[in-house]
Amino acid sequence: MMKKNSIHLLLTALLLLSGTLVGCNKFLDVQPKGTLPEDMQFSDEQGFKDALYGVYSLMGDKALYGENLTYGFVDKLGQMFEYFNTSNPDNEITKYQYTHLNVRPRIDEIWASQYYTIAAVNLIIEHAEATDLTGETMDIIKGEAYALRAFLHFDLARLFCVRYADRSGKSGIPYAFVADQNNKELFDIEEVYKNILADLDKAEALLQNDNTLNAPLGLSKDPYYDERFSELNKYAVMALKARVYYTMGDMTRAAEYARKVIGADVVGNADTERVKPLALAKPSEFRSVKDFPGTGEIIFGIYADKQAQNIYDLFRSNPYSGNFTEARKDLKALYETDRFTATNTDLRYAAYYKEESKGTFGFIRFIEDESALKLKAFRGIPLIRLPEMYYILSESLYDTNKEESIKLLNEVRASRGLEPIAEATVETKDKYIQEMIRERMREMPGEGQVFFASKLYNLPILARNGKDNIQPSEEVYVLPWPEAEKEFGNIKK
């Protein structure tokens, strides 16, 4: 157990942050109780819920999923964006110069912030396991916390470890099971993934009655059960399992969990009132699902309203001056605009990007212009969406059922306004994988997933100019630990 004053500091940060969230009423009502003793903070269900809301607020900070792990640092590693100016850190980030003075602090910030958030989750778990409170809601609270611990460690492993296929003889990361800041046990990569899956197994069992997802605020008596897409819910756990197994190369289990999500019988609230089940959008509905919450395709995302100004400043404040974070140069080729017809137009192209000048594109998926900023149109960032489950299931089936594999890919394409893909484009496994990486680039900008798509297969990364290839290597695909990593631990078993 960490020292009492450390606990108070942690809770103060958690709950003060959660109290600053805007846009989601169930977060707005949280009162800053961080100075309360632990036994009072966790004396009732609401105290646990408040602590969870605080964790999501930490995740929504710029250091983590509010920038670095989505549209910021990680998407720049995926060559999706760059501020084209030699004095900007992007100059080194997009060249994978991880030890450069402009880049190293960003990496250290990700490591430290992620483990700090894990410590907050572990504090919730410790009290949830020790409390006398029982019932379905407490089971869901515990399940959610175990799922968060897995989610946060998984992204650390994807960033700071070699890919799972190359795990032999390679170091993993510390896996934190307790809420203190002492050194943590260092596990090898295989054991890290076993720990992740063990936490997800616990979460899946505890969340078995967590059947809501898209219920709007105010539908239930308890706001905790509204808009469950903004918390790590049962369906998000199944989707995360699909993502983890896929990353491990276990295509059988990946397919199993992707199918569970695609076929999920989602209900609206605890009384089984149906609101909107998980389903790919019709082309006419695409603009309603392109961002957060994107009800109908959203599985999990975070409210991050407080990042709206930052996003606007990065992508939209000076689009005509040349001083802004630009998107890829090859977007017309990526989206195959020369093939657009009345029945074959990729809706994502115009919904995500705007050509500011010839060959220069602005990213408009989250905030289109100043009026959207003033209207507070931006609410948050999607972290897991339904199309990814179609991609995972499609990839898992390519070797055994090519027909269904292509059919699944075409279902996503149809929902985006596209005709079926030409079979020659995916006639071999290598061609298919390249197409699936391109599909993720088209579908998921701003979500921080493109870098991992190339890393999984140890493939070259196509540079932002659309011409050069960054060759795969550990120097590119593995972030270095912070020099001060002993703050969080490297104790070997």
Share of the chain above pLDDT 90, in %: 75
Q: What is the mean pLDDT of residues 166-184?
A: 89
Q: Regarding predicted confidence, which is higher, 271 or 224?
A: 224
**Average pLDDT along the chain:** 88
Are the C-beta atoms of residues 146 and 125 closer than 8 Å to each other? yes
Give residue 219's pLDDT: 67
The per-residue pLDDT for range 385-420, each reduced to its tens digit, is 999 999 999 999 999 999 999 999 999 999 999 999
- Read off the pLDDT band of 426 (50, 70, 90): very high
Tell me the two tokens of residue 264: 């999920």
Mean pLDDT is lowest, of 98-107, 142-151, 315-324, 451-460, for: 315-324
State the CB neighbour count (10 A cutoff) for residue 47.
22
Predicted confidence band of residue 304 (pLDDT cuts 50, 70, 90)? very high
d(CA 160, CA 194): 17
pLDDT at residue 15 in the model: 47
Amino acid 255 reads: A
% of the chain beyond a pLDDT of 70: 86
Residue, of 279 and 17, whose pLDDT is higher:
279
Per-residue model confidence (pLDDT) at position 331 = 98
Q: What angle do CA 52, 56, 60 make, to 5 degrees?
A: 165
pLDDT digits (tens, 9 = 90+) for 365-384: 999 999 999 999 999 999 99
The one-letter amino acid at 371: S
Spell out the SS3 assignment of the chain: CCCHHHHHHHHHHHHHHHCCCCCCHHHHCCCCCCCCCHHHHCCCHHHHHHHHHHHHHHHCCCCCCCCCCCCCHHHHHCCCEEECCCCCCHHHHCCCCCCCCCCHHHHHHHHHHHHHHHHHHHHHHHHHHHCCCCCHHHHHHHHHHHHHHHHHHHHHHHHHCCCHHHCCCCEEEECCCCCCCCCCEEEEHHHHHHHHHHHHHHHHHHCCCCCECCCCCCCCCCHHHCCHHHCCCHHHHHHHHHHHHHHHCCHHHHHHHHHHHHCCCCECCCCCCCCCCCCCCCHHHHHHCCCCCCCCCEEEEEECHHHHHHHHHHHCCCCCCCCCEEECCCHHHHCCHHHCECCECCHHHHHHEEEEECCEEEECCCCCCHHHHHCCCCCEEEEEEHHHHHHHHHHHHCCCCHHHHHHHHHHHHHHCCCCCCCHHHHCCHHHHHHHHHHHHHHHCCCCCCHHHHHHHCCCCEECCCCCCEECCCHHHHCCCCCCCHHHCCCEEC
**What's residue 273's pLDDT?**
47
pTM higher than 0.95? no
pLDDT on residue 179: 87
